[in-house]
Structure 1
């Protein structure tokens, strides 16, 4: 079983023809379970959850159109899961819960892209890394991983160590491992699965998410996994899954989690 649960239509259109480019690629690559998880900040219905100048320039979708797209796909028996990737926003648990419960998502991904006013993975903010304390950013990032897990709102946490995207990494390994330790403990006490994402191979860091040491801690503590490409174009669907599977197996995983309308079932990885 292979899954690809983290994918985006934002560079194209919310149309059946464009969606089919993704699902057709998934089928050709033997991916049995495929889902679209558009960024929640694009939708007018999330304005009360996350709002800043960068986001507001990119808020142009309505959830009614998103729902209609999936309904059209299901009417034609196109196998696609409906999801959303929500920016985890501290202090907005009630608002996030209300939004997520309002729609028939198969699963929900929670991701951390913002540390206070700092868009950690955005090209527009990259120079900020040279002006900020890397240790402070990492501490605050993993603070959010912990509270995301403790909220128990999300089925999957996206790209668990996205914070390394531009290769700014604390030199003190003991500090880094401390962040991994507390993050994985919180995840183990939640329903949240971790995705092994191949997107990092296409980013400046040129590594899978998460780091092998971090994934090993996940396995040791019984945190389930899924596979994801975080494709923003059809050709990236299922990209480099051989490497993702190899990493998963190297730390001991033999199963992955699958989702359907909030229900979960573990299946053999491969």
Structure 2
């Protein structure tokens, strides 16, 4: 089975016509389960979780409209998973839990895009990488991976090593592997799956998330996986899945997880 659980409508509209473009590409690419997981910061209902000037310029959705779109799709017979991608925000566990429990999500993705006031993957912040200590950014990023896992609020962690997006990577392998080790230990002790994401192939780093060494640690410690494209346009749904499946099998994975109303099930990897 092939699934694509990480997709965004934000560059289009919250309409059935636009959503069906994603569904159509998924079918063409052999994706048997498609999930839409819009960024939670777009919604008025998450204002008490994450708020900064960059985010506030982009908060323009209401959850009722979003959930209503899924109901339209289901009523038309589309098999579609209902999800959200939430910025994991330290110190906001109660607020995140309240939001997650307010809607019947099939699964919830937790991701880390911010290290303090630093939007690590945003073009607007790219020059900040030259001003900051890469080792310190990585350590703080993986601090959040650990506490995200320990919170046990999320079914999936998105793009586990997104921090490498602009190719700023610590040169000391021992340091890097130590970050990977503590992150995967925390994930192994949680309910959180790791996605193999093809989005990195379309970014400056030019490689899959996560790094092969990091994925190997996940496999060794029994952390389950899902597949994702992190598509922001329909054409990217299921994009480059041959590489994602090949990496998964290379490190030893033979199964992926699928989700339904918060419950997960292990199935054979396509």
**TM-score, structure 2 length as denominator?**
1.00
Residue in 2 that maps onto 1:85: 85
Do structure 1's residue 269 and structure 2's residue 259 form an aligned pair? no
Return the offset for 1:146. Answer: 0.1
Give a deviation string over 1:44-90, Cα, whole Å, max 9, x none.
00000000000000000000100110000000011110100000000
Deviation digits for residues 182-231 of structure 1, max 9, x if unmatched?
00000000000000000000000000000000000000000000000000
Counterpart position of 1:228: 228
Equivalence for 1:61: 61
Secondary structure at the residue paired with 2:127? Answer: helix
2:176 aligned with 1:176, yes or no? yes
**Secondary structure, aligned partner of 2:126:** helix
Q: How is 1:147-226 mapped onto 2 (pairs within 5 angstroms)? A: 147-226=147-226
Which residue of structure 2 aligns with residue 8 of structure 1?
8
Q: 2: CA distance between counterparts of 1:50 and 1:18?
A: 27
With the length of structure 1 as denominator, give the TM-score of the two structures.
Answer: 1.00
- Distance in 2 (CA, whole Å) between partners of 1:28 and 1:250 is 25
Distance (whole Å) between structure 1 residues aligned to residue 56 and residue 28 of structure 2: 36
DSSP 3-state at the match of 1:8: coil
Distance 2:89 2:185 in 1: 20
Residues 1:143 and 2:140 are matched in the alignment: no
TM-superposition CA deviations, 1:83-115 (whole Å, max 9, x none): 000000000000000000000100000000000
Corresponding residue for 1:108? 108
SS in 2 for 1:207: coil
Structure 1: runs of 5 or more not aligned: none
1:237 matches 2:237: yes
Q: How many residues align?
A: 270
Aligned partners of 1:207, 1:79: CA distance in 2, in Å?
30
Shift of 1:40: 0.1
Task: Give the whole-Å Cα distance in 2 for the aligned partners of 1:195 and 1:3.
Answer: 11
Residues 1:99 and 2:99 are matched in the alignment: yes
Q: Secondary structure at the match of 1:108?
A: strand
Question: What is the distance in 2 between the residues matched to 1:79 and 1:206?
Answer: 32
C-alpha separation in 2, matches of 1:67 and 1:252: 37
Task: Give the Cα separation in 1 of the matches to 2:18 and 2:256.
Answer: 28
